[in-house]
Amino acid sequence: MSANVKSYAAVDLGASSGRVMVGRVGPDSLELTEAHRFPNRPVRVPEGLRWDILGLYRGVLDGLRAAGRVDSVGIDSWAVDYGLLDADGALLGNPVHYRDTRTEGVAEKVWATVPAEELYAATGLQYAPFNTLYQLTAARSSDQLAHARRLLLIPDLLSYWLTGEQGTELTNASTTQLIDPRTREWSYDIASRLGIDLSLFAPLRRPGDAAGVLRPDVLEETGLSGPVPVTAVGSHDTASAVAAVPAGGERFAYICTGTWSLAGLELDAPVLTEESRAANFTNELGLDGTVRYLRNIMGLWLLQECVRAWGDPDLGALLLDAAKVPALRSVVDAGDAAFLAPGRMPERIAEACRVLGQPVPGSPAEITRCILDSLALAHRRAVEDAQRLAGHPVDVVYVVGGGTRNALLCQLTADACGLPVVAGPTEAAALGNVLVQARAHGLVGDLAGMRGLLVRTQPLTRYEPRGDTARWREAQARLAVG
């Protein structure tokens, strides 16, 4: 390998699978290969839904062994969830899954102390029942929290096991609803009013900060030769994915697609208005002082759950059949929390159509088309609302993440938004992870330089909008009436 090309391991954990990717970065080259992929299967135990965190750590170690020699390691994952450690640094039970039912009805208790309007004005975070703040409130009387001396978000927990050093990376911390997006520090007032002890959290880290080196036993386990540094990246996978949006200017929207769709804008400052709160937009923190102003949409979770219920049919054939189904025959609100829980997704989507007085999709192709039309419609609404609320017009929509493989969804999103869609890269979170590590080690420049390298090296597909957007407006009106 050339002396000016370095290798970085990106540990990228999604809600359904984890992977260790190796990025090889040079002054004008960027290659990403998969070293190891492993399932992420939550486990339902008598006390609720839990993450198999030891299985994930095993997957990370196996992945680092498969990766071979690397110059650094970075970790990103989904947001909000955490592990609790005792005074000796030992884990107190498996981390609770964000889809667990323990936060049902908790938000109302929080709002009785800090009204929703005040909470948003202070933290800028959209309402989601599983935000860390609500999880901690739900756990207030638990023995685990009583015995806890440290709380580590999932990427920080894995980093701690690799290095023995503790920290709280900022982009992920901003999803806890305990960070002030203006100061980019903890919101001590909110935490105090809600009885949340911020000393549980390790000191804040920023993307690019050093996070320790692999411990000797980890080196032995993985066959790596030390020292191997661990670098803090945008440890919320969406922060890493947005860093890998191959945009050339400021007038763009992005949609990070996967289990969730995160649709919005990259801004210099948060939007903390009451209108923004009512529209359920969030202000999460990104690289270099940026704000990820976005809305959470249920995403391809809807299709994943249906495919699981149908016995895992061939997805390519299913999408070809869905493309033949008449457009916008039936749509549902893809942001509806009613679709959050797993199980019986085809029946629940059919029932939602029935309640809305629309034709009820019956076949897998019809239900799939309903889902994709509904996601495109939700993308349209989020992109339109974000522009209006932030006063930030856009000319193009970038779609990154797993949904870039779904050409029908990308085309429908272009049609719905009435804007060109540029799709790619697929492994955006891993690429953003790699590029932050490379930047920390002096191999690439600023955020614009990172994105320029992506444009030069990654395959991108452009979708032009077809027809006018009137039929999409009509479909949106159907949901509004419902």
Output the 3-class SS for 170-234: HHHHCCCCCEECCCCEECHHHHHHCCCCHHHECCEECCCCEEEECCHHHHHHHCCCCCCEEECCC
Q: Considering 100, 237, 333, 373, which one is annotated as catalytic?
A: 237
In Å, what is the CA distance from 330 to each residue of 308, 333, 377?
22, 11, 11
Strands 82-85, 150-153: pairing kind: antiparallel
- Where are the alpha helices (H) located in 261-358, listed in sequence order? 274-278, 301-309, 315-323, 345-355
Distance CA 292, CA 383 (A): 13
Question: 156 phi and psi, to 5 degrees?
Answer: -70, -30
User: Three-state SS for 292?
Assistant: strand
* Cβ neighbourhood burial of 115 (10 Å; 0-12, 13-18, 19+): exposed
CA of residue 38 relative to chain centroid, distance: 18
Q: Are strands 43-45 and 48-50 parallel, antiparallel or unpaired?
A: antiparallel
The DSSP string of 119-145 is HHHHH-PPP-TT-HHHHHHHTTT-HHH
Considering only CA atoms, which of 311, 321, 306, 332 is closest in space to residue 366? 321
Give yes or no: 237 in active site: yes
Residue among 98, 102, 197 at smallest CA distance from 145: 197
- The number of residues in the chain equals 482
Q: Which residues are catalytic?
A: 237
